[in-house]
Structure 1
Amino acid sequence: MSTAVLPPMTTTAPAPHPGLRARVRRLGVDSGYVLVGFPVAIAAFVVVITGLAVGAGLLVIWAGVAVLAGTLLAARGFAALERAQLPAVLGRPVPVPAYRAGEGGVIRRTVTPLRDPQTWLDALHAVLRLPVAVLSFVVAVTFWAGALGGLTYGAWDWALPDASGDPDNTDLLELLGLQSSAGSRIALYTGIGVAFAAALPFAVRGVALLQASLGRVLLTSRAATQAELGRLSQGRDAAVAAEAVALRRLERDIHDGPQQQLVRLNMDLARAQRTMERDPEAARAALGEAAGLARETLEDLRALSRGIAPPVLADRGLAAALAAVAARSPVPVDLAVDLPGERLAPVTENTAYFVVSEALANAAKHSDATTCRVEVTCTGDRLRVVVEDDGVGGAVLAPGHGLAGLADRLQAVDGTLAVDSPRGGPTRMTAELPCAS
Structure 2
Amino acid sequence: MPSVDGMTTAVVPSPAVATHRGIFRQLLTDSAYVIVGFPLAIAGFVASLVGLVLSAGLIVTGIGLPVMAGALLLARFFADLERLAIGPVLRVPRVRPQYRTAEPGAGLFRRVLAIIGDSQSWLDAVHALVKFVLSMFSFVVTVTWWAGAIGGLTYWTYDWAIPRSPDEVDLNTLLGLGSGTGPRLLLNTAIGVFFLLSLPIVVRGVALLQASFSKGMLTGVAEMRNQITTLEGQRRAAVSAEATALRKLERDIHDGPQQRLVRLAMDLGRAQQQFDSDPDAARRTIEEALTQTRETLDELRSLSRGIAPPILVDRGLPSALAALAGRGVIPIDLAVDPALGTAGGRLDPAVESAAYFVVAESLTNVAKHSRAEVCRIAVTREGKDLRVEISDDGEGGAHVSKGHGLAGLADRVHAAGGKLTVTSPPGGPTLIQATLPV
Within-5 A mapping of 1:323-338? 323-333=322-332, 335=334, 336=336, 337-338=338-339
Is the 8 Å Cα contact of residues 257 and 300 (structure 1) preserved in structure 2?
yes
Is the 8 Å Cα contact of residues 400 and 422 (structure 2) preserved in structure 1?
no
**2:123 is the counterpart of 1:121:** yes
Partner of 1:304: 303
Partner of 2:161: 159
Residue by residue over 1:101-124, the C-alpha shift from the partner in whole angstroms, topping out at 9 and shown as x without a partner, is 222543232111222221121111
Name which of 414, 431, 434 aligns with 1:431.
Answer: 434
Deviates more, 1:97-106 or 1:267-276: 267-276
Is the 8 Å Cα contact of residues 273 and 283 (structure 1) preserved in structure 2?
yes
Within-5 A mapping of 1:257-406? 257-265=256-264, 268=267, 285-286=284-285, 288-314=287-313, 317-333=316-332, 335=334, 336=336, 337-339=338-340, 340-341=342-343, 344-369=347-372, 372-378=375-381, 381-389=384-392, 391-392=393-394, 394=396, 396-400=398-402, 401-406=404-409
CA spacing shift, 1:208–1:230, aligned 2, 3 Å: same
Report deviation, 1:426.
Answer: 6.3
Could you tell me which runs of 5 or more consecutive residues in structure 1 were left unpaired when the two chains were aligned: 1-12
TM-score (norm. length: structure 1): 0.82
CA distance in 2, matches of 1:162, 1:199: 31
Report deviation, 1:378.
Answer: 5.0
CA distance in 2, matches of 1:338, 1:428: 24
SS in 2 for 1:308: coil
Within-5 A mapping of 1:34-433? 34-103=34-103, 104-165=106-167, 167=168, 170-265=169-264, 268=267, 285-286=284-285, 288-314=287-313, 317-333=316-332, 335=334, 336=336, 337-339=338-340, 340-341=342-343, 344-369=347-372, 372-378=375-381, 381-389=384-392, 391-392=393-394, 394=396, 396-400=398-402, 401-419=404-422, 428-433=431-436
Residue by residue over 1:309-357, the C-alpha shift from the partner in whole angstroms, topping out at 9 and shown as x without a partner, is 2344445554554344334333355554432406543322321221222
CA spacing shift, 1:48–1:325, aligned 2, 3 Å: same
CA distance in 1, matches of 2:185, 2:303: 88
Amino acid in structure 2 at the alignment position of 1:45 = F
Is the 8 Å Cα contact of residues 399 and 424 (structure 2) preserved in structure 1?
no
Is the 8 Å Cα contact of residues 338 and 376 (structure 1) preserved in structure 2?
no
Q: What is the root-mean-square deviation in Å for CA atoms of aligned residues?
A: 3.3
CA spacing shift, 1:190–1:393, aligned 2, 3 Å: farther
Is the 8 Å Cα contact of residues 269 and 287 (structure 1) preserved in structure 2?
yes
Report deviation, 1:129.
Answer: 0.6
Amino acid in structure 2 at the alignment position of 1:350 = S
Is the 8 Å Cα contact of residues 235 and 415 (structure 2) preserved in structure 1?
yes
SS in 2 for 1:417: strand
Is the 8 Å Cα contact of residues 397 and 428 (structure 2) preserved in structure 1?
no
Is the 8 Å Cα contact of residues 358 and 409 (structure 2) preserved in structure 1?
yes
Partner of 2:5: none
Report deviation, 1:306.
Answer: 2.3
SS in 1 for 2:357: helix
Residue by residue over 1:82-137, the C-alpha shift from the partner in whole angstroms, topping out at 9 and shown as x without a partner, is 00101111122132211112225432321112222211211111111111111111
Deviates more, 1:230-239 or 1:415-424: 415-424
Report deviation, 1:79.
Answer: 0.6
CA distance in 2, matches of 1:431, 1:353: 11
CA distance in 1, matches of 2:297, 2:182: 101
Identity of aligned residues (%): 52
CA distance in 2, matches of 1:110, 1:302: 65
Report deviation, 1:370.
Answer: 5.2
Report deviation, 1:15.
Answer: 8.4
SS in 2 for 1:112: helix
Could you tell me which runs of 5 or more consecutive residues in structure 2 were left unpaired when the two chains were aligned: 1-10
Amino acid in structure 2 at the alignment position of 1:414 = G
CA distance in 2, matches of 1:72, 1:149: 42
Report deviation, 1:423.
Answer: 7.5
Report deviation, 1:73.
Answer: 1.5
CA spacing shift, 1:15–1:309, aligned 2, 3 Å: closer
CA distance in 1, matches of 2:184, 2:118: 60
TM-score (norm. length: structure 2): 0.82
Residue by residue over 1:17-63, the C-alpha shift from the partner in whole angstroms, topping out at 9 and shown as x without a partner, is 44444333222221211111111111211222222223233334443
CA distance in 2, matches of 1:88, 1:109: 34
SS in 2 for 1:433: strand
CA spacing shift, 1:362–1:174, aligned 2, 3 Å: same
CA spacing shift, 1:279–1:105, aligned 2, 3 Å: farther
SS in 1 for 2:420: strand
CA distance in 2, matches of 1:115, 1:363: 55
Residue by residue over 1:378-434, the C-alpha shift from the partner in whole angstroms, topping out at 9 and shown as x without a partner, is 565433434455x33636444245334322211111123345667777655443323
Is the 8 Å Cα contact of residues 392 and 423 (structure 1) preserved in structure 2?
no
Is the 8 Å Cα contact of residues 338 and 378 (structure 1) preserved in structure 2?
no
